[in-house]
Amino acid sequence: MRAVRFHGFGPADVLGVEEVPEPVPGPGQVLVRVTAIGVNYGETLIRSGKATEVVPWYDLAPGALGGEVVGVTEDGRRLIGFALGEGYAELAVLPEDAVEVPDDLSDHEALALYLQGATAIAAVDAVRLAAGERALVEAAAGGVGSLLVQVAARAGATVVAAARGERKLALARDLGAHEVVDYGEPDWPALVEPVDVAFSSVGGAAGRQSFELLRDGVGRMAVFGFASGEPLDVTAADVFRKGVALVGFGIPITPANVRRAFTSGLRPVLGEALPLADAARAHELLEGRATTGKVVLVP
């Protein structure tokens, strides 16, 4: 089968398509013929070698890239899940309890709601967002951010969407944001009133700026990513000084969370759909912040 591999950390062009042996499912696993592959920013960090700088507990080496896939089993079931091994490939192995995709969702829509939708819903739950509160969403036109805007607005919050460029700000408004701010501008925090909750997926200096916008004594920040390639620039002393709470979590994927995302009625934003051979291009688009919504590869 064809699969995307890389043999050394580096820029997107280290990715290439190769012929590799077909995977063999073990006990509790199922083989699927892949029909669509979700591409996530975290995979660009893995490919570049930066992931271990941000999350040093990752033990990563060049080779295959995994991720979420939609595929069809031999008996015709359309499943979605994280590939066990090769993910950017024509065939993949999934856990036997992988979730079946509802008929009313396309592959692209399902991938846009799978990891990102479950994350958005879990993040809002984690900070106990309440009606009437102000909520700041970083990267508000991205895969998670575009869904967070909707979930937070549905919860009755005043949503402040932070994104780069008028095209992305317009999308955030269309999705229900009450206020928008371009966080590519150096003075953007001065344009935002304090918030009760911040949803942080960028890390680095931008994450620190969001943290400082939290209301002292009551603010909460959900941290679920470092798209800048830098860890969140906040110390325990900073948390103590402001009297706020930081909530961090990894991948909140359970069958129940996924089904909740699939039946939520959220509007997924669909980005580019590219051939498997264009995996490098997909990574370049993500790294260049040139995308909105979910990017997928099609074998």
- CB distance 140 to 146 below 8 Å: yes
Q: Which phi and psi angles does 162 have, rounded to 5°?
A: -105, 125
Verdict on whether the full-model pTM lies above 0.85 = yes
Torsion of CA 238, 239, 240, 243, to 10 degrees: 130
- Domains by residue range for the chain, with CATH: 2-101+269-297 (3.90.180.10), 117-247 (3.40.50.720)
- CB distance 2 to 17 below 8 Å: yes
Residues sharing a CB contact under 8 Å with residue 265, sequence separation 6 or more, in sequence order: none
Q: Which phi and psi angles does 213 have, rounded to 5°?
A: -80, -10
Q: Is 237 exposed, middle or buried (0-12, 13-18, 19+ CB in 10 A)?
A: exposed
Residue 137: per-residue pLDDT: 98
**What amino acid occupies position 10?**
G
Distance from CA of residue 104 to its chain's centroid?
Answer: 22
Tens-level pLDDT at each residue, the chain (299 residues): 999 999 988 999 999 999 999 999 999 999 999 999 999 888 998 898 877 666 655 556 577 887 899 999 999 999 999 999 889 999 999 999 999 999 999 999 999 999 999 999 999 999 999 999 999 999 999 889 999 999 999 999 999 999 999 999 999 999 999 999 999 898 999 999 999 999 999 888 899 999 999 999 999 999 988 877 788 889 999 999 999 999 987 666 788 889 999 999 999 999 899 999 999 999 999 988 777 879 999 99
Residue 203: per-residue pLDDT: 86
Between strands 29-39 and 158-163, the pairing is unpaired
Residue 109: per-residue pLDDT: 97
